[in-house]
């Protein structure tokens, strides 16, 4: 294909005239002759139903062609040895087609040449698509897949904060817009299916991939998951949820190769970990699910008929296809040991409900044993057809059989345009959480300052805001850069690194004390000396990208290395001390809470994170984020999170013969839902209108909230429900509504939440979801522990 794509016929993008001479006979107005027989077959007829097109296509396919629709080829530099089609492709397995190509020239591999400019990438994908349409017997288009959890995983696409940061926005409408951007950029760049969002509920603060989670509460995660999915899908792109199922509860919070043995109950699994997947599938048009590596109660998910068929398809109503997460299929053999060979693992997974094997090795590793199983009858033609049909159904839904090529010039106009960059900045602003603000230390008054010290090992950090699963090679504004730019010509900015982010013995130093060496002592002394000559200290501490993420769980959650010693030394100067956290785990920052005047949680804040931090510190933007996870005081408190069962996180007995209650710290550092503001809010006029029965009606909760301060700001009213008496023990309080609202000084807003019976469901003794009669309590406030309004209602029938 040449460098230009032209719209030559209505509704169909065609190759330019240099190749049209050889191919024009298959391209017609309103249809493509994929099998090149000069007849409009049913599967080529855009006026036919998808079901009839599927019936026809599958009837024409050979066993070789069917099996190739069940495997992924990773793009050039990952598995594929060619970035564009070659003559050799006609002898490769994919001469019979492919399910998809993942990460095709997206930039994860530095070898790829066709990542940028954007139009060049679209040209490359069109060229690959041309091979599958014109050089394979049935012309079945290939699907292009890619990651996209914090922006599209492509060079110079729009970058967003880490998912844990976006979880801190408490703004599903913002996440809907983020989904739109991911979908628009994916569509423009030629991708069809985006692996996003992560719907894993992160309940263990040590878990490495907590940075990729929206938080610890299933309702909060669900609200985000539904909205970001809708945003992606509305752009003509399908999305694949990950990681199904129970992936985020590994034993001991471990990550990496120890993704097994989650110690959670059946009810917790359904009510906590599966709830977001169920809601996203039932409330949006989900066409993809990624099966996870782990097992549940000894049953590996990727080999489980219960999880992949009974639950996912029959109960939730999923209509798309299931793709394996990397080595999940192989793990059936060499990690879980439930089969004695890789071939048997293939049989188990396909029988269970897996459709497409995706991992970082050539397709033949999977295809050869799959074909043996089909020839031997171990996998029936009926089952093979079913799995292939589920994949092809998605391709028809994507429009690949109607308009397989994308317009090149569109990408240059869409990707990372001004509107998308503005949304990225807003996401960074809204993701930040003010954890402490003693005596209104923040915002700092620049007019009262002559100089400030910007200090700490994460002050100039940028790499942590670039994700393997998000935008690549983008220019990140560090906190230091943001402050320098904000104060340019007004206040002198002095810098000192202060300390390295970790010491030479880390992570061993997490469990034993390591003294400062001479260099480290000199670094801290330099910071203190500079601090004493300035008017305020802005200290950046936290983690680097190598400390949190996939394969990166932690043993301890304190600040790594000697950062705490730097913090303590600076606190003794008596200067206003503002701590900014750049991190992925919710850290046990007890010393920061006690010694600093203000603490701002910025997470890994994205491309415009430094600008947003500076705007908040100097009062251009009033922070309104709230925590989506509990900040504990010690890893010894784990598990300690929200929601929780009654008294499960309470104190110990102080009276009686068996205890004094002085052996354990039981309170968290910052609770779920916590977040401060530069202004104050007042709640009033609670009204409850109850028309609920156990299976119908609605509950309407209304109230007013007023900004009682002198600064405009965002308030996040949170609605919590408690079932007074139930047939089984349920969580003490459950989040069932929230909304982020911007209010000017003295402005008042009327707020209402509407609940249906399913918001009060529990899984009863028969493991069925039911709503029971009885008295329910409700509370509205600024966090899971700060309730401003309370009420009661009852279900009587």
Phi (first) and psi of residue 165, to 5 degrees: -70, -45
Give the pair of three-digit tokens for residue 457: 């090992």
pLDDT at 259: 60
**Catalytic amino acids?**
325
How many residues appear in the chain? 797
CA distances from residue 191 to 100, 172, 405, 574 in whole angstroms, order as listed = 10, 24, 10, 55
Phi (first) and psi of residue 434, to 5 degrees: -85, 110
User: Whose structure tokens read 């415009």?
Assistant: 608
Cβ(464)–Cβ(424) below 8 Å: no
For 691, half-sphere exposure in the C-beta direction (CA atoms, 13 angstrom radius) is 5
Cβ(71)–Cβ(350) below 8 Å: no
Sign of CA dihedral 297, 300, 304, 309: positive
CA atoms of 245 and 312, how far apart (whole Å):
10
Q: What is the dihedral of CA 427, 428, 430, 435, to 10 degrees?
A: 150
Instruction: Record the pTM.
Output: 0.95
Residues of the chain falling short of pLDDT 70: 1-24, 256-260, 658-660
Residue 40 CB neighbours (<10 A): 16
CA atoms of 473 and 364, how far apart (whole Å):
32
CA atoms of 101 and 644, how far apart (whole Å):
42
Sign of CA dihedral 109, 136, 398, 321: negative
CA atoms of 600 and 580, how far apart (whole Å):
5
pLDDT at 216: 98
CA atoms of 40 and 395, how far apart (whole Å):
19
Give the pair of three-digit tokens for residue 331: 């793990």
Cβ(786)–Cβ(675) below 8 Å: no
Residue 689 CB neighbours (<10 A): 13
CA atoms of 157 and 150, how far apart (whole Å):
10
Q: Residues 6 or more apart from 586 whose CB is under 8 A from it? A: 205, 210, 557, 627, 629, 630, 631, 632
Cβ(727)–Cβ(181) below 8 Å: no
pLDDT at 652: 77
Please choose, from the candidates 664, 665, 674, the residue with its C-alpha nearest in 3D space to the C-alpha of residue 642: 674
pLDDT at 15: 40
Strands 748-755 and 699-707: antiparallel
Q: How many helices (H) and strands (E) does the chain have?
A: 21, 32
Helix (H) or strand (E) holding 540: strand 536-542
547: alpha, beta or left? (left if phi > 0; alpha if psi -120 to 50): alpha
CA atoms of 791 and 241, how far apart (whole Å):
37
Helix (H) or strand (E) holding 391: helix 381-398
Please choose, from the candidates 788, 784, 791, 779, the residue with its C-alpha nearest in 3D space to the C-alpha of residue 682: 788
């Amino acid at each position: 294909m040449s460098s230009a794509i032209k719209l030559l016929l209505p509704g169909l993008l065609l190759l330019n005239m240099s190749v049209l001479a050889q191919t024009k006979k298959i391209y017609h107005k309103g249809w493509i002759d994929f099998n090149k027989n000069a007849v409009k077959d049913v599967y080529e007829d855009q006026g036919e139903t998808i079901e009839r097109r599927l019936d026809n296509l599958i009837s024409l396919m050979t066993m070789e062609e069917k099996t190739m629709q069940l495997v992924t080829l990773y793009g050039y530099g990952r598995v594929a040895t060619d970035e564009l089609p070659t003559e050799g492709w006609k002898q490769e397995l994919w001469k019979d087609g492919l399910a998809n190509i993942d990460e095709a020239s997206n930039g994860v591999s530095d070898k790829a040449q066709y990542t940028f400019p954007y139009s060049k990438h679209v040209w490359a994908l069109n060229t690959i698509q041309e091979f599958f349409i014109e050089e394979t017997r049935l012309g079945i288009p290939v699907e292009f897949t890619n990651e996209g959890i914090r922006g599209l995983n492509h060079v110079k696409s729009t970058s967003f904060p880490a998912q844990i940061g976006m979880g801190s926005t408490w703004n599903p409408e913002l996440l809907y817009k983020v989904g739109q951007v991911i979908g628009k950029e994916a569509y423009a760049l030629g991708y069809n299916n985006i692996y996003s969002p992560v719907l894993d509920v992160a309940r263990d603060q040590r878990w490495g991939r907590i940075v990729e989670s929206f938080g610890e509460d299933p309702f909060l995660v669900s609200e985000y998951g539904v909205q970001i999915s809708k945003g992606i899908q509305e752009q003509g792109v399908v999305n694949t949820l990950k990681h199904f199922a129970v992936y985020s509860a590994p034993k001991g919070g471990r990550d990496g190769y120890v993704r097994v043995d989650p110690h959670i109950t059946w009810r917790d699994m359904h009510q906590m970990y599966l709830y977001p997947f169920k809601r996203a599938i039932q409330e949006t048009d989900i066409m993809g699910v990624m099966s996870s590596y782990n097992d549940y109660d000894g049953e590996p998910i990727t080999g489980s008929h219960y999880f992949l068929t009974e639950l996912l398809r029959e109960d939730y109503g999923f209509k798309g296809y299931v793709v394996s997460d990397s080595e999940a299929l192989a793990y059936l053999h060499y990690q879980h040991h439930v089969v004695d060979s890789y071939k048997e693992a293939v049989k188990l997974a396909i029988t269970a409900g897996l459709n497409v094997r995706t991992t970082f090795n050539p397709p033949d590793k999977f295809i050869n044993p799959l074909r043996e199983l089909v020839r031997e009858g171990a996998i029936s033609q009926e089952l093979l057809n079913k799995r292939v049909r589920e994949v092809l159904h998605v391709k028809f839904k994507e429009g690949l059989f109607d308009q397989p090529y994308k317009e090149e010039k569109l990408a240059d106009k869409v990707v990372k345009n001004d509107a998308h960059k503005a949304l990225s900045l807003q996401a960074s602003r809204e993701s930040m959480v003010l954890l402490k603000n003693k005596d209104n230390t923040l915002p700092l008054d620049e007019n009262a300052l002559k100089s400030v010290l910007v200090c700490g090992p994460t002050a100039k950090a940028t790499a942590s805001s670039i994700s393997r699963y998000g935008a690549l090679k983008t220019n990140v504004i560090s906190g230091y850069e943001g402050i320098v730019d904000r104060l340019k010509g007004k206040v002198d900015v002095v810098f000192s690194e202060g300390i390295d982010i970790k010491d030479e013995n880390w992570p061993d130093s997490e469990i034993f004390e390591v003294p400062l060496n001479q260099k480290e002592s000199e670094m801290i002394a330099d910071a203190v000396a500079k601090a004493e000559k300035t008017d305020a200290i802005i200290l950046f501490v936290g983690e680097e990208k190598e400390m949190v993420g996939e394969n990166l769980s932690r043993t301890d959650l304190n600040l790594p290395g000697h950062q705490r010693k730097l913090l303590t030394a600076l606190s003794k100067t008596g200067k206003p001390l503002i701590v900014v956290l750049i991190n992925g785990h919710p850290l046990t920052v007890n010393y920061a809470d006690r010694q600093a005047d203000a603490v701002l949680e910025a997470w890994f804040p994205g491309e415009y994170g430094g600008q947003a931090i500076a705007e908040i510190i100097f009062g251009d933007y009033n922070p309104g984020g709230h925590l989506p996870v509990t900040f504990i005081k010690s890893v010894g408190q784990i598990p300690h999170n929200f929601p929780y069962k009654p008294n499960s996180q309470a104190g110990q007995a102080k009276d009686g013969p068996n205890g004094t209650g002085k052996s354990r710290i039981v309170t968290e550092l910052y609770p779920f839902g916590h977040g401060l503001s530069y202004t104050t809010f007042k709640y009033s006029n609670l009204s409850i209108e109850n028309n609920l029965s156990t299976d119908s009606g609605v509950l309407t909760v209304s109230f007013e909230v007023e900004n009682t301060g002198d600064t405009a700001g965002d308030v996040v009213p949170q609605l919590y429900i408690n079932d007074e008496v139930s047939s089984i023990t349920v969580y003490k309080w459950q989040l069932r509504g929230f909304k982020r609202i911007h209010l000017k000084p003295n402005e008042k807003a009327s707020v209402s939440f509407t609940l249906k019976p399913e918001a009060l469901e529990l899984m009863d003794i028969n493991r069925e979801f039911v709503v029971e009669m009885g008295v329910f309590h409700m509370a509205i406030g600024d966090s899971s522990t700060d309730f401003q309004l309370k009420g009661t209602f009852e279900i009587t029938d």
